[in-house]
Amino acid sequence: MTDTGDSRGLLYPARLPTFRRVPAPDDLTDVVRWFWIPVWRLAPGRTSRQNLLPFPASNLVVQHDGTVLSGPTTSASYRDLHGHGWAVGTLLRPAGLAGIHQAP
């Protein structure tokens, strides 16, 4: 996996135990900007608040407990991490949803 070292959108990237940003493969660059993968394992009772800045696009996120499509949004947000977990997110390009959704 490639780690681009790009922490745009994360206010405090050092607070996230592991964070990777992976460029989209060439055949997806018209709809996907990049993939992002956080992994965390925190001591019992510890919480790590992740403050995030929005991009003008949507995120498709797969986690252990489900899949979420969110955005675009115009305000900062946060996620409190605790215990251990992971996610695989896809930052879609603006209007990227139209590129992956076919109308009925």
Q: Check which CATH number belongs to the domain holding 67 and give it.
A: 2.60.40
Q: Is residue 47 part of a domain?
A: yes
- pLDDT above 80 for 9: no
Domain count along the chain = 1
Residue type at 19?
F
Range of the domain at 41: 13-96
Structure confidence at residue 85 (pLDDT): 93
Which DSSP letter does residue 44 get? T
Q: Are 63 and 77 in contact (CB under 8 A)?
A: no
Half-sphere exposure of 98 (CA within 13 A, CB side): 5
Percentage of the chain surpassing pLDDT 70? 78
Q: Which residue has the higher pLDDT, 40 or 95?
A: 40
pTM of the predicted protein model: 0.74
Q: Is residue 83 part of a domain?
A: yes
